Amino acid sequence: MTAVILEAVAGSAANSSVPSWTEGLFPISWPQPARVGWWLAVAVAALGFRLSLVHLGLGRHRLVTAATVVPFLVLAAGVAFSADWATWH
């Protein structure tokens, strides 16, 4: 959720003047390869969380795991291919 909130907040201020120190803070201002890596890292973290739940005996549903991880992979692909819907502004 933190990753999504950072993108949304940065996207809402994308057309306004902001201090230059904020540019490195929000993923939306990062170079495209870094943003793709960011969203892939978020997908890996989501997958790791789901697998840790399975290890504890919880959350064995593959559909829920896919629904948790796939949106981040789709967003990473959108950023990688410069899709308009992946820019948040």
Q: What is the pLDDT of residues 69-86, one digit of tens each?
A: 999 999 899 989 988 777
pTM over 0.85: no
pLDDT at res. 21: 60
pLDDT at res. 19: 60
CA distance 19 to 26: 12
Residue appearing with tokens 């896919």: 66
pLDDT digits (tens, 9 = 90+) for 62-71: 888 899 899 9
Contact partners, residue 25, CB within 8 Å, separation at least 6: 10
pLDDT digits (tens, 9 = 90+) for 14-58: 555 656 666 667 777 788 898 899 999 999 999 999 989 888 887
